[in-house]
Amino acid sequence: MAANSHAVSAIRKRLAEVSGELVAIEKRWRSLREEHHALGQTLRMFDPGADASQIKPKRPYRRVVGGKLSLLVLDALRASGRPMTTPDLMAALANHVHAIPDAERRVKAALNYLVRSRGIAKEGESGAVVFAIDRLGTARSGMR
């Protein structure tokens, strides 16, 4: 069986991308380890009896795009001037959501929020849902 050159090329490209991500993550890991060590040393300087290993890790909380995903969705709907499906919105927001983990789920959550509170029209059922700005071209304030 002959090797599929397109598949081999795609695999090589993806392998190179993953390798690059690993190098970046390893560099970030080393930097964090150095910072962790320096903070432990600084803590011991101010409190000689302190044990940094006894401090429980705290998971960092990072908001996606500064918590403005709903505003980005509204802007995309306004700019299009027509009803849009979720895939249409994902394409319109590609530059903003490319680095967001699980971006489609978050965009859908933002859309559901906008439907409930901001006057976004939702038409259709599960697979064929279309979203649009209300007939006046603006969303309601949501303040009652």
Q: Do 120 and 139 touch, CB atoms closer than 8 A?
A: yes
Q: Are residues 121 and 86 in the same domain?
A: yes
Q: What is the pLDDT of residue 140?
A: 41
Q: Are residues 81 and 113 in the same domain?
A: yes
CB atoms closer than 10 angstroms to residue 54: 6
d(C-alpha 27, C-alpha 122), whole Å: 45
DSSP 3-state assignment of 11? helix
Residue 2 is encoded by which pair of tokens?
Answer: 């002959």
Q: Are residues 36 and 83 in the same domain?
A: no
d(C-alpha 134, C-alpha 118), whole Å: 9
Total domain count, the chain: 2
Q: What is the pLDDT of residue 120?
A: 79
Q: What is the pLDDT of residue 26?
A: 96
Structural domain range at position 20: 5-54
Q: Are residues 37 and 70 in the same domain?
A: no
What is the block-wise mean pLDDT of the chain (144 residues), using blocks of 10 residues?
81 93 94 94 93 85 64 86 86 81 83 81 71 58 34
Q: What is the pLDDT of residue 144?
A: 31
Q: What is the pLDDT of residue 122?
A: 80
Q: Are residues 69 and 121 in the same domain?
A: yes
Q: Are residues 38 and 68 in the same domain?
A: no
Q: What is the pLDDT of residue 65?
A: 53
Percent of residues in the chain assigned helix, strand, coil, to nearest 5: 60, 5, 35
Q: Are residues 38 and 70 in the same domain?
A: no
Q: What is the pLDDT of residue 106?
A: 85
Q: Are residues 69 and 128 in the same domain?
A: yes
The pTM of the whole model exceeds 0.85: no
* One-letter identity of residue 49: G
Q: Do 107 and 48 touch, CB atoms closer than 8 A?
A: no
Q: Does residue 137 form part of some domain?
A: no
